Amino acid sequence: MSVDWTEVLPGITMFWTEPQIGVGSRGFLVEHPNGNIAFEGATWYDDAALDHIESLGGIQYLSASHAHVYGALWRLSERFSPETVIQEAELPYAQAFPVTWPFDGRAELTAGATLHHTGGHTPGHAVLHLEDRRLLFCGDALKFTLDEYPVGDAVSISTHRAYDAHIPLTHADIRQYRDLMEPLDFDAVITPWEVVPSGGKDAALHLFAEQLSGRPFADPLPLRETVEEADAAPDRAEGSHTADPARAYQEAMPPGETFAFPITDLDRTDIPVWTVAHFPEERPGMNTSAGYGSTDASARIGAWGELYEKASSRQAVPELPRRTASYEDLTAAGEPALDPRRLRLPVGTTYAHDQPLVWAQARRYPSHDPVWIPIEEAAAYFGDLDGISPAREDGWLYTPITNGLGAGDSFERALGHGLMELVQRDGNSVTYRALDQGVGVSVDSVADPDIRRLLDQFDAAGVEPIIKLADTAFGMANFYVVGHERNLEDAPHPLMITGCGEGVHPDREIALAKALREYASSRVRKRFNHGMLDDIRQVFPDGYEEHVRQQSPANEESRSFQALKEWRDLSVEALHDRIDFSLRVDETVRLSSLPTVAPGTLQSPEALLDLVAGRFLDAGLDIFYVDYSPEGGPAHAVKAIVPPLEVETATYDRIGRRNIRRLVRRGSNIAGLGEPPSGAQRVPLPPADEEALGDQAWFHPGRMREAVDGLYAMYREPKRHVLALEAERS
């Protein structure tokens, strides 16, 4: 047996044995001007190793993360008689060497070198933070797999219990890790086996956000491609394989000035909310987004992901394969094409199958076979169609919408995200807001303590969230959350009481946590987007307001501008009276009665996509997607399309058989079957849908407009800061 050593980072020497003994832990010596620090123990130190340590200045402080890696610390104690510092819960296992400094929460060995108690992996587990080196000795709090050992880039990251690597930590353990590590300044991470020179903190916070967003898990979370996968994509930009998804989205953005910053402080809930604003070089204007999460890191990822969705559609749609033809011509030529009537065309449309359209190429899932779809469906905004002229004399078929957009670090995550959004919007399209059905949810049983923590945060802020159920289609609980201050006058801004958060997921608790966080985000976003600049300037980063004023955002829809302008001029009491009906609860269902999945069954994006897509396919639904992702890019964005799912019934008069059935079942006078009454119009459904309904369907746009009158701002909002800038000019 031999003892070897090498300098793995400047001033940090690693010791190990060949062959490996026991668990094969490695010990580290940190050279420090106030006295060297030995952390973790190699399984043996021979005389040559001890002499080498002596030549580097000996050891002033001796410590370790937990008992499993004490190794031969007793050899170091005998030779150098250092100050030996051990967390109190680990003392029963430290009898082979004298402990001179037991500690509980933290122990500052010397300036810039501090031990912190983490617990979790073991009750007494601790980490060592070296502030000036931006380095964390994390012990077994974090476990990495690397592309090269023992020093390399992280491929995956995980956490687990000491006695069984398959048992995950609890949410409370993870929150303790997160709350301790997030304030620490570090980039490099060293475990008893691995050295990660950079990206360690980003990877850790990403892991914690993923673990807290659903059921606990101990499986490694992938951070990047393996070396083999990266080599298979040589055209991928160097440096794009990052542990930080936000950085991947940022790298994929088109050139321009970008501002990313937290806006959490505009509310009192302390639930993290971030925003990103991008001013592209190629054209005037501003792309914006908002994100939320359990930490600033996860909120930042969410904001960048939403922004990347928007930017991707603008870049990708003009470059999609396209052609001009009628649906009749395409089908006669044997070309696979999606019948436009399956896309819920607006009532009153003049569309006919012999009219020419501009078509773009999408793909069917899971076969990935190409199919032609109207380019309006491939787009997310009218701006995506700049430079493309409609082929019909009557113009585009309908206003492009964002339903189905999804982004992620993989195609599977992006498509799964997009499909979940379609389920969410389908389930609540004629169930909430102006058509609220008043079905409340009582949180009678919840396993995830994170939900209780969120509810406690709202309670401490004086906010009463009202949890409601929109639907349970496809075996998924589809929630939305509204609410208000207990004392209306305490609202930081009147518009904040109109906030609404949505969430759907096969796991009902994940869905509920998402809806609660999105509700918090909606409150903050409404104040930030539509409040006067003097009211929100305190959160602006340097240069942001100057860019906003130089490139004043235009507004695409005058109806949304006028609707929110009216709301802005109302007092908080008057605004509450306006929306009061949407806050009511006429009946209550128990959370425990709603569908869910077994814990731990959806620990990966692939598993979620397989489950959701499988339920669609089992129900006889077709799945299509448009891939916005550039070849070999660092991030992925798609638009998911599932024709029977509903979109924009209350705003753009688009309705299909699912919403016809919902409205008919409740006896609504907005839609029905048979001959259309006065003022109503026949719904342009494909024959199969009319056959399923048993008759032709009709929809009454005037009655829907009456229902939405005074409430349109619940559905559509003007672009960011438009109201404030208009008020300054008037």
Q: Is the pLDDT of residue 232 over 60?
A: no
Q: Convert 678-719 into a string of H (helix), E (strand) and C (coil).
A: CCCEECCCCHHHHHHHCCCEEECHHHHHHHHCCCHHHCCCCC
pLDDT of residue 231: 27
- How confident is the model at residue 242, as a pLDDT? 40
Instruction: Look at 20-24, 352-356, 559-563 and tell me which has the smallest mean pLDDT.
Output: 20-24
Q: What share of the chain is helix, strand, coil (3-state, %, to 5)?
A: 35, 25, 40
Q: What is the pLDDT of residues 707-718, one digit of tens each?
A: 999 999 999 999
pLDDT in tens, 657-666: 999 999 999 9
Q: Which residue has the higher pLDDT, 265 or 558?
A: 265
What is the per-residue pLDDT across 607-622, written as a single tens digit (0 to 9) for each? 999 999 999 999 999 9
Smallest Cα–Cα separation from 421: which of 409, 400, 433, 404?
A: 404
Residue 107, CA distances (Å) to 1, 30, 85, 203 in order: 35, 17, 8, 25
Give the pLDDT confidence of 150-190 residue by residue, as tens digits.
Answer: 888 888 899 999 877 889 999 999 999 999 999 999 999 99
Q: How far apart are CA 26 and CA 17, in angstroms?
A: 8
Q: Name the DSSP letter for residue 254.
A: P
290-342 pLDDT per residue, tens: 999 887 878 888 999 999 999 999 999 999 999 999 999 999 999 999 999 99
- Computed over every residue of the chain, the mean pLDDT equals 92
Band of pLDDT at residue 558, cut at 50, 70 and 90: confident
Q: How many CB atoms lie within 10 A of CB 718?
A: 24
Query: What domains are there in the chain, each with its CATH number?
Result: 2-230 (3.60.15.10)
Tens-digit pLDDT profile for residues 417-432: 999 999 999 999 999 9
CB 25 within 8 A of CB 39: no
Amino acid letter, 78:
E
Q: Per-residue confidence at 553, pLDDT binned at 50, 70, 90?
A: low
In this structure, are residues 487 and 514 in contact, taking their beta carbons and an 8 Å threshold?
no
Distances (CA, A) of 53 to 9, 76, 195: 16, 9, 20
Q: Which of 39-48, 108-117, 516-525, 601-610 has the lowest mean pLDDT?
A: 601-610
The string of pLDDT tens digits covering residues 452-490 is 889 999 999 999 999 999 999 999 999 999 999 999 999
Predicted local confidence at residue 136, as pLDDT: 98
Helix (H, G, I), strand (E, B) or coil at 618: helix
Say what the pLDDT of residue 554 is: 61
What 3-state class would DSSP assign to 51? helix
Q: How many CB atoms lie within 10 A of CB 644?
A: 17
Helix 200-212, helix 171-181: angle, nearest 10: 150
